Structure 1
Amino acid sequence: MQPDEAELERMAGLLEASGRYRVLRKLQTRAPVVGSPSAVRRGLFVDVETTGLDPGRHEIIELAMVPFTYTLGGELLGVEEPFHSLREPSHPIPPEITAITGLDAAAVAGHAIAPEAVHAFAAPAHLVVAHNAGFDRKFLERFCEVFTTKAWACSMSQVDWAAEGYEGTKLGYLAAAAGFFYERHRATHDCHAAIELLARPLPKTGRTGLAQLLDAARNPTIRIWAENSPFDLKDLLKARGYRWSGGDDGAPKAWWTDVAEADHTAELAWLRAEIYRREVEIAHRRIDAYDRFSSRL
């Protein structure tokens, strides 16, 4: 006879209480909240599986979009029915992609994703979120122009997981550390897992991940490019948090960083004093959620 939910939870509690076991619960999709407050926003969590990493050459083979509602303070109110579709690419799916996603030629044969259907589904969203928005946004902007008009946020980089005691930012690791498991590397399941992580209070601050993400998304930053910086000072730039851009998508080929708007004057002064050691014009640009993570930068 199959134990009921209460009995299963009791057994799990006994295992955990022994100190010798840690039990992971299977992810359960959250139901909408009845009687939602008036100050409600609509979010859209997105995830794509692709044939590779380059949005200029590679193609989307799976797209999931999961709508959710939330308050301005970062409380998740509910999760709605998802959009999910597969797409047959114009070139074969590489074996290494099949190994990760489970998607092969047979799985996607004859499938297509209609950009107009994607546009209609995404249009009501106030905010689009992805776990690695710098990847998903670039692919989706090329696929459907509605994504160029939206504010974006990233659940991987705009929640300070390390400060909350997590040792990594991969979605599967974060889920396991939070005490649940799910079917990984399928787009809809990844969306539901990330939404669940954002809904829960963080272990150190007690705020939800969504509240922290919204704060980061709302705050403008300044992107600074250290163009033509001396090669022998690259380690100094790396130590300060600068990253290298190879000039993809028209961005400057240079070391770059994002800083808070209030800190950018001091950062420019540091570059002039420590890197260039002279007065020099330094390329920089204000960034907000409408162009953050976009290849349009």
Structure 2
Amino acid sequence: MALQGDLFDDQADPDASPGTAPSRPGRPARRTGTARTPGVTPESAAALLDAHDDYRVLRRLQPRAAVGPRQLQPGERLTVIVDTETTGLDHKRHEVIELGMVAFVHDAEGRVLDIVGEFSGLQESSDPVPPEITRLTGITDAMLAGQRIDLEAVEAFIAEADLIIAHNAGFDRPFCERLARGFEPKPWACSVKEVPWAEFGFEGSKLGYLVGQSGWFHTGHRATDDCHALLEVLMAPLTNHAGSALGQLLTRSDAARIRIWAEGAPFELKDQLKVRGYRWSNGSDGRPRSWWVEVDEPLAEAEIAFLEGEIYMRRVRPRAQRITACERYKA
């Protein structure tokens, strides 16, 4: 069997000397003198391997082209996917060095109709980019020198958006709100927390896992590339569920949740709270120093009944806040 590089008759270098094969940077030169297989293309070879139980082929994820801005029709919504690359994890101390956004139009069921815009911007940071960030993203100080994100363009890009999606909105939203005012009043959705990926057969919720298990690979940890990759994963049909992950995300995002605070809960019962999904707030951000949980609005009364019967052993009316997508994932 010929080597893979020699199978494809559309890969020949027209400038190569007879009997030689072109090399690619960082890869050994192709073996010479191997006969090519007429009519075999990369896709036909990939399809052949895909049909075999011992192989699984990943294809390069190809971003869809934007058609440009257009008027929304009745029943259509405009959503923007956002991703940031930053100098660290703390939105109060660290800075955005890259912002990527992809805007798309979809219907109420989550069927994507058009990609209508793309935004990409770099920004020089006050301090040198940490080496670990450069290793992760490939972004260097030289790339950022003199660069500024056009905040007026950012505001205009998101002005008409009905929803902002981020893959870990609890991280991206605080950074975005600090960067540009237009992000603050928008509803936000998180494609990590608000999509039950495990139920859909995925082994993890990291974007790299989702892309790979969907049959693609892409250039990760660059903001706009990650936005396009997330959109493709969200809109792909699910193998064991009707519709797409985007449809599920939109449904959950539209629903209000209730944040319930178990203030003064007995210390010895903390493990029961943790098992039930409660998280601890140390009060440093102005919120109560207490265990808390968020539940879907219809489940709030059942959660309060749990606190009364299992934690407080008496009638209580705990602090409860109604949280919509406009408040969710704020710092």
| Superposition map of 1:228-239 within 5 A | 228-239=264-275
> Cα offset for 1:248?
4.8
8 Å contact from structure 2 (residues 257, 294) kept in 1: yes
Distance 2:135 2:289 in 1: 33
Distance 2:271 2:127 in 1: 40
Aligned residue among 216, 238, 252 for 1:202: 238
TM-score after normalising by structure 2:
0.84
8 Å contact from structure 1 (residues 36, 77) kept in 2: no
Q: Deviations over 1:161-217 (max 9, x none)?
A: 011111110000011001111000000110000000111112211211111011001
TM-score after normalising by structure 1:
0.93
8 Å contact from structure 1 (residues 227, 254) kept in 2: yes
8 Å contact from structure 2 (residues 102, 224) kept in 1: yes
Partner-residue secondary structure (3-state), 2:198: coil
Unaligned runs of 5+ in 2: 1-8, 12-37
Q: 1:137 — aligned with what?
A: 173
Aligned residue among 45, 49, 57 for 1:23: 57
Aligned residue among 233, 254, 259 for 1:223: 259
Q: 2:10 — aligned with what?
A: 2
Distance 2:171 2:96 in 1: 12
Query: Which stretch shows the higher mean deviation, 95-104 or 215-224?
Result: 95-104
Aligned residue among 25, 37, 46 for 1:12: 46
8 Å contact from structure 1 (residues 32, 77) kept in 2: no
Q: Deviations over 1:237-271 (max 9, x none)?
A: 11111122333532223222111111111111211
- Whether 2:50 is the aligned partner of 1:42: answer no
Aligned residue among 235, 247, 257 for 2:293: 257
Distance 1:206 1:40 in 2: 20
Distance 1:100 1:276 in 2: 47
8 Å contact from structure 1 (residues 24, 176) kept in 2: yes
- Is the radius of gyration larger for structure 1 or structure 2? 2
Distance 1:66 1:196 in 2: 11
Partner-residue secondary structure (3-state), 2:230: helix
> Cα offset for 1:155?
1.2
> Cα offset for 1:35?
11
| Superposition map of 1:172-183 within 5 A | 172-183=208-219
Greater RCO structure (CA 8 Å; 6+ sep)? 1
Aligned residue among 132, 148, 165 for 1:112: 148
Query: Which stretch shows the higher mean deviation, 26-35 or 15-24?
Result: 26-35
Distance 1:254 1:20 in 2: 52
> Cα offset for 1:29?
1.7
Distance 1:216 1:271 in 2: 25
Distance 1:65 1:219 in 2: 24
Q: 2:202 — aligned with what?
A: 166
- CA RMSD, Structure 1 to Structure 2 (Å): 2.2
Q: Deviations over 1:264-283 (max 9, x none)?
A: 11111211221222334412
Q: Percent identity?
A: 49
* Number of residues of Structure 1 aligned to a counterpart in Structure 2: 295
Write the letter of the residue equivalent to 2:272: L
Unaligned runs of 5+ in 1: none
Write the letter of the residue equivalent to 1:82: E
Distance 2:181 2:40 in 1: 48
Specify whether residues 261 and 6 from structure 1 end up closer, same or farther in structure 2 by C-alpha distance, changes over 3 A only: farther
Aligned residue among 75, 78, 91 for 2:114: 78
